[in-house]
Each structure stands twice: as structure tokens, then as C-alpha cells.
Amino acid sequence: MERFTRRRILGGAALAGGALIAAPLLAACGSTPAPSSTPVSAKPTEAPRPASEAKPTEAPKPTEAPKPAVTVAPKPTEAPKPTAAAKPAKSKEPVTLRFHMRGGGDKSEPAIYVQRPDEWAQETGNKYKLEPIVGDYVGKLLALAAGNTLGDITFTTELANAHSRFVKAGILQPVDDFLGPYNVKKTEWQKGIVDALTYDGKLYGLPKCGHPGDAYIWINLKMFDDAGIKRPETYGNSFEDVATWASKLAKGPKDNREVYGYYVNVEGVQPITNAIRSRGGDIIDEKGLISLADTEPWFEWAKWNNQLMTVDKVHPFQQAMGGMDLAGIFAAGKLAMIHQQRSTERAVKLAVKDKFPYTTIQFPRGPKARGWAISINTHTGTTQSKHKEETFTLSYALADRRFAYLVAKEQGYLTGRVDNMDAIKELASDHFLQLQYKCEQEGEMMWRPKNLRAAELETAIKNHMDLLWLGKRQLDKAFMGELKQQLDQILAKPE
């Protein structure tokens, strides 16, 4: 799903002036739901077992550079059959775990909320019951906790600092006591992800993913061929390249385009953060106390977007999309390029099918680019669960090698494991998965305000920048200074 329709983590908090709700909930791992590894016995990369047991238009001419890899669906292969998942160390009666997750996840991310949990249930003899939450995920989960009616395991995300807020509220169960007995090691996942989930030396949850956010651009290669534009390389393209392509590919009068050249992604902190980091900046300082909105990387980001959106008008605003989502207008040939996060791959693949060849390239990175902001999602046991050991085994099943395979095969994206490319087996040759993996290696921890008011910061950024995107204000240093002042006031509030 693209951001126009994405469920928001603070679904009840309306923005001023009719703006969209703050803090989008990304698929995990791609994050919106967009959109699991052969479990181990004694090996840390397999599903854990208790210590007491013994026992997935025209082609370029020959003188031109080779075309980038075109995205095609992998050949159907039978997924490796799972072996027994982690089981409680002591013999117990089967239990049913209440599983909180985002509404619709069982449809948009079936590998995560149907296939792997079903395998876990079959392997362990236990059961699970999905309890979807629609709207204000944070508020509703905190309300359940206050009423002592919280379930056993819950989806969390660090967008809007939701995971951190749950940790502070004391409703998430650390996993440290279960790692040793089940032969699970923290080194199975990317260090940046583990660091982001560690508070006062304790690890809260096992990662569903830790992906680099909106680091990708989808490209209709037929449009490039028809326009006589050389197909781009996967890496190394500049902001100027993208802007030039967008102008050449757009068709029709500016105020009523037949084809739009490029979707400029400014919906949410992930694309904003990564676009600014690609220019060497960030949202706030490392201490989480001061806004950086008056710095040069912010100004260059705003200037580039403003040119495409309000001057060249190659970007389709929502009213121009005719009720279709991004994958729909892309598949209909009305949009040449999309800047989005990885959950878009599955939607594009389903929409485009064999209508035309397309590919993905990395979003441009300037000479001073910082690492991609890692978006953390987890499935974490709750402190109110009476079945903490069983909950840990389900949490690990949603983070193991088998999980990595299923997510890559069904959803088209990677999890947070260091051995991702080995775990996904024959799928490792897929162009988009290879691009993701490279971006993962360049990831850095997402910025975090000291007072955990990320949702308020996002709201303020969106409301202020919308004045520019909608042509109601002119871009100058004073405009960006006003934004900094607003953000600094939020950062000065107590936690």
C-alpha cells in the first residue's frame, strides 16, 4: 500500500488544516503492511529449541551500458518444509496466544500473520488468535494495558517512538532470559536493529524487520525506451538525473497531465528523513534536543521537491489520481516513476503483471550522504501474558530463517537477519531483494527525540511543508526558520 491509504499509528490524532494523520505505520518490514527460515535446533541461525532437547521501445544499442535488472517474478519453487519450531522447555498443556497486530495485516502480509504462525501452531501444538487493531494503535494498546486486558504478543514499530513508549509504559517483556535456554543469539540480526531495541541493557522484542525505509524508485522501463532515455543504472543516479527524467516523461499540460513523471514522496518521516540524510543532514541532532530544519540539507530537499511539485508539476497530487493508488496509476501508464518504500514492490508486481518491464533503482545519494534510517518493527511478548515462554517461541518464529524465506517469497522484502541472503535461498538472485540488502548494509539508527514526541514533530513538519507544496508560501530561509522554531518548541516539551 502507498501512503495515501496507509493506516496511521496515531489514527485518532487529526492534523491541523485537514492534514493527514501523523506517524504512518509502515509495513513491516515493510513496513504498511505492504505489504520465516528453517527453524533451528542447536544452531543459532535455526529456530530455537530448549536446551533439554537433543534434537526459509527498443533495447539499448550495443554501445550503450547494459540495462539494469528488470523485476520479474521468481520461478515457482516449492518452499522448504519447516521443521519443528521452538517448544517450551517444560511439558505443558497447549495454550492459545492472543496476538495484537494492525488491522488488515492478515490480508496484506499473509506470510507474516497467517503462514508462519500457522506453521508455529502445527509445530508446537499451541494456537494463536489474531486481534487486529484499527486506528490509534498506541492508544488502544495502552488502554488494554491499563485495563489489564492486554494479550500475549503484539506488533510494535519505532515509528512515532511507539516501541519506546511501550517499553517506558512497562508493557513489553524483555527477551534476555530466553535467549540462552533456546540457543538464540543477538548476532542473528543486524547490530543497528538490536541496538535500537535495547534499553538499559535489556532487549525488548525480536525484530520483524529493520528496513531502510523509502530508499527506492520504481521505473517504467517502457516509458524510458519510448522517450529515448537510456535505462538507468541501479546505483549512482543523481537528483538532477531524476528531475530531468521526470520532466521528459511527463505528458500533457502542467495543470492537467496525461502522464506524471515522478511521485515525490513527502508523506511521513521515513521518506523525509532519508531524502534529507541523502544530502548529508538529519531531522534533529544526535542528542534529540534540537531541530536541524534551518540547515542546508533541509533547504536543498525542499527546493528540489518544490521544483517538481509546484513548478514543473510532474507529481500527481491525490486529486489527480482518480481514486487509484500509486501501483494502480503506475500500472495504468499514467505515472513513470514512484519514490516509495519496499512494500510497494508487491503492490506493483500484482498490478503491472506482464504489461511492461519495470525495475527499481536506489534513491539518489549526494556526496555527503548519511546512512539510510532503519525502520524497526517487532513482535514482542507483553508483561501481562501468562505464557511468556510460549510467546517467546512465537516471537522467534516471526524472526527466524524460515520467516525470512517466507517474507521474501510472499511479500518481496527482507527481514532484519544478518544471514538474509543465505536464508532466502534461490530468491537471492532477485534484483529488488539484492537492492534492499545493499541498502540495509548502509543503514543507521533512526533519529529519536529525547522526549519521544516524534508524532508531534511529524505533524508539524507536514502541516508547515504542505503550505509550500500547495503553493501557499514561497521557499526562503525565513520559511525554514519558522519550521525550526516550531520543532524546537516541541522538542523542549517534557516526555
Q: Domain limits of the chain?
A: 16-212+374-445, 216-282+298-371
Does residue 429 have a pLDDT over 70? yes
Does residue 77 have a pLDDT over 70? no
Across residues 413-425, what is the average pLDDT? 94
Take residue 430 and report the three cell numbers written for it.
Answer: 532477485
State the pLDDT at residue 36: 34
- At the top level of CATH, the class of 16-212+374-445 is alpha beta
Does residue 306 have a pLDDT over 90? yes
Q: Measuring CA to CA, how many Å separate 371 from each of 192, 207, 349, 441, 447?
A: 11, 19, 28, 9, 11
**Cross-strand pairs, 291:** 284
Give the per-residue SS3 of the chain. CCCCCCCECECCCCCHHHCCCCCECCCECECCCCCCCCCCCCCCCCCCCCCCCCCCCCCCCCCCCCCCCCCCCCCCCCCCCCCCCCCCCCCCCCCEEEEEEECCHHHHCHHHHHHHHHHHHHHHCCEEEEEEECCEHHHHHHHHHHCCCCCCEEEEECHHHHHHHHHHCCCECECHHHHCCCCCCHHHECHHHHHHCEECCEEECEEEEEECCCCEEEEEHHHHHHCCCCCCCCCCCCHHHHHHHHHHHCECCCCCCCEECCECCCCCHHHHHHHHHCCCCCCECCCCCCECCCCHHHHHHHHHHHHHHHHCCCCCCHHHCCCCCHHHHHHCCCECEEEECCHHHHHHHHHHCCCCCEEEEECCCCCCCCCEEEEEEEEEEECCCCCHHHHHHHHHHCCCHHHHHHHHHHHCCCCCECCHHHHCHHHHHCHHHHHHHHHHHCEEECCCCCCCCHHHHHHHHHHHHHHHHCCCCCCCHHHHHHHHHHHHHHHCCCC
In whole angstroms, give the CA distance from residue 91 to residue 386. 15
Across residues 471-484, what is the average pLDDT? 97
In whole angstroms, give the CA distance from residue 25 to residue 159. 7
Q: Report the largest interatomic distance among the alpha carbons of the chain, rounded to a whole angstrom.
A: 71
Give the pLDDT band of residue 192 (cuts 50, 70, 90). Answer: confident
State the pLDDT at residue 106: 94
Amino acid at 460: A
**Percentage of residues in the chain having pLDDT higher than 90:** 75
State the pLDDT at residue 93: 86
Backbone angles phi, psi at 475, to 5 degrees: -80, 125
Give the pLDDT band of residue 85 (cuts 50, 70, 90). Answer: low
**Percentage of residues in the chain having pLDDT higher than 70:** 81
Take residue 164 and report the three cell numbers written for it.
Answer: 519506546
Q: What is the per-residue pLDDT across 124-170, written as a single tens digit (0 to 9) for each?
A: 999 999 999 999 999 999 999 999 999 999 999 998 899 999 999 99
Q: What is the per-residue pLDDT across 386-413, written as a single tens digit (0 to 9) for each?
A: 999 999 999 999 999 999 999 999 999 8
Same fold yes or no, 16-212+374-445 and 216-282+298-371:
yes
Does residue 21 have a pLDDT over 70? no
What would be the CATH architecture of the domain defined by 216-282+298-371? 3-Layer(aba) Sandwich (3.40)
CB 101 within 8 A of CB 130: yes
Angle CA(10)–CA(36)–CA(32) in degrees, nearest 5?
A: 20
Q: What is the per-residue pLDDT across 203-256, written as a single tens digit (0 to 9) for each?
A: 999 999 988 989 999 999 999 999 999 999 999 999 999 999 999 999 999 999
**What pTM was estimated for this model as a whole?**
0.80
Give the pLDDT band of residue 60 (cuts 50, 70, 90). Answer: very low
